[in-house]
């Protein structure tokens, strides 16, 4: 059996989740008639402590709707240099919203209020006005790091003082919730919008939620339609999301425990490993592409994200046996 650690997006819906999907009540969601989508959006808004939520196809769509919502063409948006919207969303912020992105370089992917202050330029006719700050929690390329709550509060307070809107890219925010023990609504305090993915650690096949004020979500619904993201009997997918929110949040702690086991085991074979805070493990080694191939031959799949870095992500479909096999495969690599 192959151990697939390329991403937490590779999970397959469980039998119980498929059962919930098969029995979902559905309607035409573009008319607002799908009771299961409506229930999922209500649940997401409640958990997030926001007025409303919108079910969208992907984390990318959620981020891009938020960027469109908060900006005008010609604006500047700020984010950390490893952030997903800049690196992995096919240039969408420029193409769809006509904005330019100012990147803030950090070691660990985590911003501070001081970073934001020093990235802001004074009012001047030459400069694109900065209107939006995007924050990623947990950080994907930053190693699955979790923002301390005080740092989130400092970021939103500073952004408000500087006249910036704020969006939290919480593709894996439930990993942050479980790792920190701080509820979602508290982690999202002060953010104008936030999103989270159902299709990553939570194990649903499709979907993300965007949350924010009722007025912003009404506009977001129109932007989603413009992007072709209006879905019809989407309750089949929403049912998987509701199931995931009910059954798959607390178990993320198992993924975090396995990530720590994995990191310790790989380190034990002499490799340099960044200590994981959540479910993402980065291993530094000289030829990552060759290592990726060699591990695949031992039945372990992971991704060479840079010439000298491998990423392994724990999830619902990897058990303790899979972790042991992966550690053994690194042992073989070291010999
Ligand atoms: C931090 C972060 N944001 C957004 C996304 C985009 O999600 P999706 O693949 O659903 O578009 C990802 C995907 O891995 C991610 O890691």
Q: Where are the domains of the chain?
A: 15-247, 251-334
Is pLDDT of 220 > 90? yes
Mean pLDDT of the 199-205 span = 98
- pLDDT higher than threshold 90 for residue 143: yes
In whole angstroms, how far apart are CA 173 and each of 79, 132, 176, 300? 17, 20, 5, 26
CA 234, CA 230: separation in Å to the nearest integer?
9
In 3D space, the residue among 227, 176, 204, 170 whose CA is nearest the CA of residue 50 turns out to be 170
Checking if the pLDDT of 1 tops 90, the result is: no
Query: Which among 307, 259, 271, 42 has a CA at the least distance from the CA of 143?
Result: 259
Q: Which atom of ligand 1 is nearest to the CA of 199?
A: 10
Ligand 1 lined by 197 (C-beta under 6 Å): yes
The mean predicted confidence, pLDDT, of the chain is: 98
pTM for this predicted structure? 0.97
Q: Is the CB of 171 under 6 A from ligand 1?
A: yes
Q: What angle do CA 96, 97, 102 make, to 5 degrees?
A: 120
Q: Which of 140, 147, 172, 208 to mutate to test the pocket of ligand 1 (most atoms within 8 A of CB)?
A: 140
CA of 199 to the centre of ligand 1 (A): 9
Asked whether the predicted pLDDT for residue 335 surpasses 90, the reply is: no
Please state, in angstroms and rounded to a whole number, the distance separating the CA atoms of residues 160 and 42: 27
Ligand 1 in reach of 75 Cβ (< 6 A): no
Q: In CATH, what is the architecture of 15-247?
A: 3-Layer(aba) Sandwich (3.40)
List pLDDT tens digits, range 279-309.
999 999 999 999 999 999 999 999 999 999 9
Cα of 334 vs centre of ligand 1, distance in Å, is 32
Q: What is the pLDDT of residues 229-277, one digit of tens each?
A: 999 999 999 999 999 999 999 999 999 999 999 999 999 999 999 999 9
Q: Which fold has domain 251-334?
A: 3.90.1150
- Find out whether the beta carbon of 71 lies less than 6 Å from any atom of ligand 1: no
Q: Residue 46: count other Cβ atoms within 10 Å of its Cβ.
A: 13
Strand partners, 168: 135, 194
Contact indicator for 145, 110 with CB cutoff of 8 Å: yes
């Amino acid at each position: 059996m192959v151990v697939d650690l390329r991403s937490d997006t590779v999970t397959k819906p469980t039998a119980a989740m498929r059962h919930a999907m098969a029995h979902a009540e559905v309607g035409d969601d573009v008319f607002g008639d799908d009771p299961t989508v409506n229930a999922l959006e209500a649940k997401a808004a409640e958990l997030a402590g926001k007025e409303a939520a919108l079910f969208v196809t992907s984390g990318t769509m959620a981020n891009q709707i938020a960027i469109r919502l908060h900006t005008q063409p010609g604006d500047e948006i700020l984010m950390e240099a490893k952030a997903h919207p800049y690196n992995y969303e096919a240039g969408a912020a420029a193409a769809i919203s006509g904005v330019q992105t100012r990147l803030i370089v950090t070691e660990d992917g985590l911003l501070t209020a001081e970073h934001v202050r020093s990235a802001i330029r004074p009012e001047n006719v030459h400069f694109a006005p900065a209107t939006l700050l995007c924050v990623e929690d947990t950080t994907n390329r930053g190693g699955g790091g979790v923002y301390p709550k005080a740092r989130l509060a400092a970021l939103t307070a500073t952004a408000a003082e500087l006249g910036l809107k704020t969006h939290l890219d919480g593709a894996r925010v439930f990993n942050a919730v479980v790792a920190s023990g701080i509820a979602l609504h508290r982690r999202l305090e002060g953010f104008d919008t936030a999103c989270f993915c159902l299709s990553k650690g939570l194990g649903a096949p499709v979907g993300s939620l965007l949350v924010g004020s009722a007025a912003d979500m009404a506009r977001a619904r129109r932007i989603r339609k413009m992007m072709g993201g209006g879905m019809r009997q989407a309750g089949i997918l929403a049912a998987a999301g509701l199931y995931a929110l009910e059954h798959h949040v607390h178990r993320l702690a198992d993924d975090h425990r396995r990530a720590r086991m994995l990191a310790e085991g790989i380190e034990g074979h002499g490799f340099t490993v960044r200590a994981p805070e959540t479910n993402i493990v980065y291993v530094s080694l000289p030829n990552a592409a060759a290592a990726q191939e060699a591990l695949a031959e031992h039945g372990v799949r992971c991704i060479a994200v840079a010439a000298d870095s491998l990423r392994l992500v724990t999830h619902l479909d990897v058990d303790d046996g899979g972790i042991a096999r992966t550690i053994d495969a690194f042992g073989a690599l070291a010999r």
